[in-house]
Structure 1
Amino acid sequence: MATSPQPAPPTTRPPSGISRRLLLTAATASALFVTATACGSAVNTAGGSSSGGLITLSMQNPDSKTQDPATWQLVQEFNKQHPDMKIKLEGQPVDQHEQRMTIAAQSGTLPEIFWVYDSLAKTMVKSGDLLDLSPILAENGLKAKFAPSMLDGFNQGGVQYGLPYQALVTGFYFNKTILDTHKIAVPETFDELVAAVKKLKAAGVVPIAQGANNSPYSVWAFLTMLDRFGYESKYQDILAGKAGYDNADFLRLYQHVDELAKAGAFPSNMNTQTYAQAVASYTSGKAAFLDAGVWEAEKIQKSSVGKDTGFWAGPTFTDGVGNQKLVMDVPSAPFVVSAKVKEDKKKYAAVKAFIQFYYSDAGQKILVDNAQPPVTTYKPEVDTTKASVFAAVLAEASKPGWTSPRAQPDLVVSAATASAMYDSFYGVMGGTLSPEEAVKNVQKTIK
């Protein structure tokens, strides 16, 4: 039996655009749950901390030990320190996990703590299914450990319903040796990127590794470019019907993407290769740039191009809108807590203790040790001789004078609109959509 697609970067959401975000009706959800259970894959505690525990942490990976070692290690350490509050770690592939959480909310059987896409979390908080975490944040100065942007996106109607699971830092990895060989400086502006693309293409080098097949979400660097054309200041009006996605500023960006495509920026097999194959083409030294994020740092480090790799937030635009010094460093999909936890003093105490530990400096160090950026203001110390790629990502994300949008553009719209955004970029990159058609296709999904 076919199973639901797995998120490409196994240790991340990632990026909430990695897989379809499902908001299911009760009937559809129940049918899907029966199907998943029949496959024997509804719940998997492989790699979990134990078969039982006072509270359960339910994740979007069926085997956290190998697919999300940072979370697995955090749970192991917490259980050692709090044997009376032991956490059971379980998980399912992302789509099945979303389905299961939908059903659990409807039946009142949500796990105590769980990962979920923000679109579903926002639905749950409206139904009163999620705990307001504000009182927990108020203890021990925990709230002060977060930059406001890491919390604001998970606050609705004054309810702090979620906390950032991991940070989402995206952009372009680049091969220093390839650029040096062809006497190309790391670009800063879009015009410099186009010039680099033309030079690399003429030399027979793939400029930017991209893979659209079964991976339409893999356009992270282009979502950041969207913010450089005023997305953050426009999207609320667009969603409210006061403006359109097919505005002149966004169209100008898509015209630039078309210019990149015509300059030969993307591999000829882009539409038939997957994101994972695009990563492999970069790690084997066949491409100069890779559109990806921090979740690939460790893999790239261990590859033959690790010592030659740097990280870049992407090009600025002379005809852009607003601040051009933007690097995508935002919270990914959140951790949330079942509202029913408040009814059990022991479970509430355990949830509170785990949250306090996860976001402590000790907890954040575990994230950093597993090549994940901290989501608090914790300042990591990274051995640049052993983790030069990860260090490059952190350095780019903290460049003086640069700031981050509050959220990745696809995380603040419906699943249908997010999917249309991915397809719009790949359509222009692959030559199947004109810039005008691309922005109109996205606008059609906005009700």
Structure 2
Amino acid sequence: MFGRKLVSRRPRGIAGVALAVMSVFAMAACSSASDGGSADGKTTITLSMQNPDVKTADPATWAIVQAFEKANPDIHVKVSGQAVAEHLQSLSIAAQSDTLPDVFWVYKATAEDMLKAGKLMDLKPTLDDLGITQHLPQSTVSNFTAGDKVYGVPYQGLLTGLWVNKKILSDNGLQEPATFDDLVAIAKKLKSKGIVTISDGANQSSFSVWSFLVWLDRFGFEDKIDGILDGSQKYDNADFVRMYQHIADLRDAGAFATNVSTQTYQQAVDQYLNGKAAMLDAGVWASSAIQDSSVAADTTFWNGATFDDGVGNQNIVMNVASAPLVVDHKVSGDKAKLAAVKKFLDFYYSDQAQQLLVDNGQPPVTDYQPQIDATKQSVLKSALDVATNPSLGSPKSQPDLLVSTAVSSAMYDSIYGVIEDQLTPEKAVALVQKALDAEK
């Protein structure tokens, strides 16, 4: 949290240990270690997600689970969840005790570590047998493949950028931006009118810097990441310093709210929904809330600024698979659970479930062509129109999903550190490099 001393957002000391212990007990309680059968004759599979309240925070997943259970009354999906940091910590502990849930959401880097440790089921035979592979983008399949094993499947699409209130811009004599210079000019003009340009919130939501993660790819992250991970290149490099300097320039132009360090992501969303910010840093998951607000008719989606001094292709949109869903290795040894998990995956990637994703403000993750009401889903449509623009490319993955939890947290801290004027660009890249070096 910035505005204060830079500290890790992970639990520390006795409280951290207590949380870890409680988390592993909670995880063990819903793990695949128990028999999949139950007194009512149903097979139970556990699904552990990165939200404490999946029903309200992730309505798309909840809708799919409810529809699946209706179609398969002999199977019960026991859904649980925790906030991202606690969820990942619980999974790490559960992996050590071999008490992982049957199906769970996890970061790509963590999943690959679990695969190496023999904790995950190889999904390739199942996906091929069910005919799912042919309906997934090849880039998605390869992104979740290690060696000859497919360890994950796409949970949801990760389509991120900036939601833009066109009316606020036009009311102030401004046009929709395209370049970084355009964005700075908008920030200066709106600052003079007391209007926030980009709504962000660092408090308890330091991960909410999606539009700036796209910036990393506009400064060569995808070409650099392999070298950064093997130590032949550094995150602390001139290109990234230049990128962080642009964040500082945007900050100095008055683009962010004065309370960016104390407001949460949800408060940042509310700021936009209430017409108090011209842009919102988020992704497609915010489309439903925007659609239900008074700013829906004025909102469009922007894939972000291009840079004259960037590195590589500037015409990109972050349209990738989110962190994957994976399956515990012990499922393969339990016939009832294996059959139930196969049915769940078959349903999740069916046209019916993909339409449920769209109905709940998410893009499909297969080649399914969704039905979209251009009036009732105008906000989502504006994002999907950008995502399917043939002139735009996309990275293979979002930068923070390619590194460990510790490094991704350092990346978030580095970005918010510059936004809040707590870190210089040079210190920001050094912070992330220190986290990388600590893992060597």
TM-score by length of 1: 0.87
In the alignment, the residues of structure 1 paired with residue 27 and residue 324 of structure 2 have an alpha-carbon distance, to the nearest angstrom, of 23
Deviations 1:320-349 (CA, angstroms, capped at 9, x unpaired): 111111111111121111111221223222
Cα-to-partner distance string for 1:270-324 (whole Å, 9 max, x where unaligned): 2222222221111111111111111111111112212211110101111111111
Cα distance in 2 for partners of 1:107, 1:434 equals 42
Aligned to 2:366, the other structure's residue is in SS state: coil
- Letter of the aligned partner of 1:112 in structure 2? D
Question: 1:244 & 1:438 partners in 2: Cα distance?
Answer: 13
Closer, same or farther: CA 87–266 of 1 in aligned 2, 3 Å: closer
Q: Which of 72, 83, 91 is 1:82 aligned to?
A: 72
The one of 116, 126, 149 equivalent to 1:126 is: 116
Q: For the residues of structure 2 that align with 1:288 and 1:140, how far apart are their CA atoms?
A: 45
Residues 249 and 298 from structure 1, CA distance in 2 versus in 1: closer, same or farther, beyond 3 angstroms?
same
CA contact (8 A) 2:158 2:322 kept: yes
2:266 aligned residue: 276
Q: Deviations over 1:157-198 (max 9, x none)?
A: 321111111111111111111111112111111111111212
Is 1:371 aligned with 2:382? Answer: no
Flag the 1:269–1:90 CA change in 2: closer, same or farther, 3 A. closer
Partner of 2:186: 196
Partner AA of 1:209 in structure 2: S
* 1:335 equivalent among 325, 329, 334: 325
Matches within 5 A, 1:290-301: 290-301=280-291
8 A Cα contact 1:427 1:433, kept in partner? yes
Contact 1:208–1:290 (Cα < 8 Å) also in 2: yes
What does residue 304 of structure 1 align with?
294
Counterpart of 1:217 in 2: which secondary structure?
A: coil
CA contact (8 A) 1:42 1:96 kept: no
Cα pair distance change 1:331/1:262, threshold 3 Å: same
- Please give the root-mean-square deviation of Cα atoms over the aligned residues, in Å: 2.8
Q: CA deviation at 1:215?
A: 2.3
Shift of 1:234: 0.5
Q: Distance in 2 between matches of 1:108 and 1:417?
A: 25
Match of residue 341, structure 2, among 343, 346, 351: 351
Residue type of the partner of 2:297? K
* Structure 2 gap segments, 5+ residues each: 1-7, 32-37
Matched, 1:313 2:300: no
Q: How far is the alpha carbon of 1:379 from its aligned partner?
A: 1.6
Aligned with residue 172 of structure 2, among 137, 160, 182: 182
Q: Which amino acid aligns with 2:192?
A: A
* Runs of 4+ with >4 A deviation: 19-22, 27-31, 40-45
Residue 63 of structure 1 and its aligned partner are, at CA, apart by 3.4
The whole-number CA distance in structure 2 between the counterparts of 1:340 and 1:105 is 11
User: 1:157/1:193 Cα in 2 relative to 1: closer, same or farther (>3 Å)?
Assistant: same
State the match for 1:421 in structure 2.
Answer: 411
What is the aligned partner in structure 1 of residue 217 from structure 2? 227
User: Structure 1 297/43 Cα, relative in aligned 2: closer, same or farther at 3 Å?
Assistant: farther
Query: Residues 220 and 291 of structure 1 are in contact (CA less than 8 Å); yes or no, is this contact kept in structure 2?
Result: yes
- Answer yes or no: is the 8 Å Cα contact 1:29–1:102 preserved in 2: no
1:272 and 1:73, CA in 2 relative to 1: closer, same or farther beyond 3 A? closer
SS of aligned partner of 1:57: strand
Answer yes or no: is the 8 Å Cα contact 2:30–2:46 preserved in 1.
Answer: no
The secondary structure found in structure 2 opposite 1:446 is helix
Amino acid at match of 2:307: F
Give the match's secondary structure for 2:43: coil
- For 1:5-43, what per-residue CA distance to the aligned partner results, in whole angstroms no more than 9, with x for missing partners? xxxxxxxxxxxxxx9799x9xx999854543489x8986
Contact 1:29 1:99 in 2 (8 A): no
- The answer to whether the aligner puts 1:216 opposite 2:206 as a matched pair is yes
What is the CA-CA distance between 1:140 and the residue it aligns to? 4.2
1:34/1:241 CA distance change after superposition, 3 Å:
closer
Count of residue correspondences: 422
Q: Which amino acid aligns with 1:251?
A: V
The code of the aligned residue for 2:352 comes to A
Equivalent in 54, 68, 91 of residue 58 of structure 2: 68
- Give the 5 Å matches for 1:133-144: 133-144=123-134
Check 1:109–1:419 CA distance in 2 against 1; reply closer, same or farther (3 A cut).
closer
**C-alpha offsets along residues 237-259 of structure 1, whole Å, 9 cap, x if unaligned?**
11211111121211111122221
Residue 381 of structure 1 pairs with residue 381 of structure 2 = no
Contact 2:162 2:281 in 1 (8 A): yes
- Which whole-Å CA distance do the structure 1 matches of 2:416 and 2:307 have between them? 20
Q: Percent identity?
A: 54
Q: 1:212 to 1:59 in 2, by over 3 A?
A: closer
The runs of 5 or more residues in structure 1 that have no matched partner are 1-18
Please give the TM-score of this superposition, normalised by the length of structure 2: 0.88
AA matched with 2:308: T
Deviation at 1:443, TM superposition (A): 1.5
1:108-161 per-position Cα deviation (integer Å, ceiling 9, x unaligned): 333322222333322211111111000112124311111122222222232111
Asked whether the 8 Å contact 2:27–2:101 carries over to 1, the reply is no
